[in-house]
Amino acid sequence: MTRKLTLFVLVLAAVGPLGSGGDGYAVDWAALDSTAGALHGFPGNHWLGTDELGRDLWVRLCLGLRGSIVVGVLALLFAALLGTTLGALMGVLRGVSGGLVDRAVEILAALPVTVLALVVISTGGRGLWPVAATLGALGAVPVARAVRVALLAATSAPYLAVARIHGAGFWEIARWSYAPAVGAACGTACRLLLPQLLVAEGLLGFLGLSLPEPGMTLGSLLAEGSGRLSHAPWAVATPAAAVFLLLLATRSRA
């Protein structure tokens, strides 16, 4: 069920915009002029109608979905990479350097997402990479913790001691003991993390801190639509439904 839903959402993000034109900024002057035009929904060739600038809302919805998925997945990859590295360091390092890494991760965990995003935007500019990096840095914390615990458990396993006594080198132990444990822990943490990253991305988008124009995400569409809530509620309802579908599709099976 979840797999089919995931496939559906991905297909929607990939080919949905082709439904009517495919350009989220193309202005339909005819729709603006007609009496049944902007924001009235379902007129002829615009499935969800257009906004007050005559831009097709269906196309924008699918493009926003695509933007959210791209940012979320990129942030997840970043979180997996950074989290595994930090977790491995936490699992291996002892003493002062180990303490430093531990504290760094704790500080990272304590940072609120919006503040960090504002700092990144004010210093490093906007765009896909800074947003993904910000979200990924925050998402790295649970991954790092899971990897650290898995690594500590693997290190204290009796069969590892026996393998060492039998002369297994570092690479053999890494291949047969550390890698499976770290891989499993990282995989589990990432599955739990993806929906959280998508929600955080939605928050940033709503505040206008996610992808800059002309890029769009579901968050920024929600922000746009919120101004028209009284006369065109579907302009908010459809991105909200898309967020709901996206979270349903990425939730982990129990």
Partner 1 sequence: MGLLLQWRDLGVRLRGEAGAPPVVSGLNLDLHRGECVALTGPSGSGKTTACLAPFGLMNGRMEMTGVARFAGLPAWNQCEQTGIERVAFVLQEPVNNFAPHLNIISQITDFNAYITEEKLRKWCVELGLDDGSRLLRQYPHQCSGGELQRLALVAALAQEPALLVADEPTAALDATSRDAWCRVVRRRCECGLAVLLVSHDPQVLAAVANRQIPVGLRPIPLADLPQNTVEMSELADDVLLTVQLQDSGSAQLPGGRGCLTLAPGQNLTVTGPSGVGKSSLLRLVLGLPSPWKGQVEWRGKGLCVWPAPSRARLSSVMGAVLQDGRSSLNPQRTALDGVSAGFRRRGNSWRASRHRAAEELAALGVPTECWPRTPSELSVGQAQRVALAQALACEPALLVLDEPTSAQDLGHRQRVVDRLLLAQRQHGTALLVATHDAELVVALGGPTLPLLPAGPTPTV
SS3 of residue 246 by DSSP: helix
Q: For residue 191, what is the DSSP state?
A: H
The nearer residue to partner 1, 178 or 206, going by C-beta atoms, is 178
Taking the least distance from each CB to partner 1, the nearer of 10 and 173 is 173
Q: Which amino acid is at 79?
A: A
Question: Which residues neighbour 92 within 8 Å (Cβ) at sequence distance 6 or greater?
Answer: 98, 151
The C-alpha atoms of residue 229 and residue 20 are separated, in whole angstroms, by 24
Smallest gap from residue 87 Cβ to partner 1 (A)? 19
| Nearest distance from C-beta of residue 147 to partner 1, angstroms | 17
Q: Which is nearer to partner 1, 179 or 241 (CB)?
A: 179
Stretch that binds partner 1, among 28-36, 59-67, 122-130, 161-169 (CB under 8 A): 161-169
97 touches partner 1 (CB under 8 A) = no
- Contact residue for partner 1 among 7, 14, 36, 162 (CB under 8 A): 162
CA neighbor of 236 nearest in space, from 44, 110, 8, 57: 57
Q: Tell me which residue of 84, 105, 102 sits closest to 185, measured CA to CA.
A: 84
Q: Which residue, 47 or 176, is less far from partner 1 as judged by CB?
A: 176
Please report whether residue 127 would count as binding partner 1 according to CB under 8 A.
no
Angle at 132 between CA 134 and CA 64, to 5 degrees: 125
Per-residue mark of binding to partner 1, 179-208 (x: CB under 8 A):
-x----------------------------
- CA dist., res. 177 & res. 151, Å (int): 9
Whether the CB-CB separation of 124 and 130 falls below 8 Å is answered with yes
The 3-state DSSP class for residue 27 equals strand
> Going residue by residue from 165 to 184, which x/- string records binding to partner 1, judged by CB under 8 A?
xxxxx--x---xx--x----
Identity of the residue, 31 or 181, whose beta carbon is nearer to partner 1 in the bound complex = 181
Which parts of this chain interact with partner 1 (CB under 8 A)?
Answer: 158-169, 172, 176-177, 180
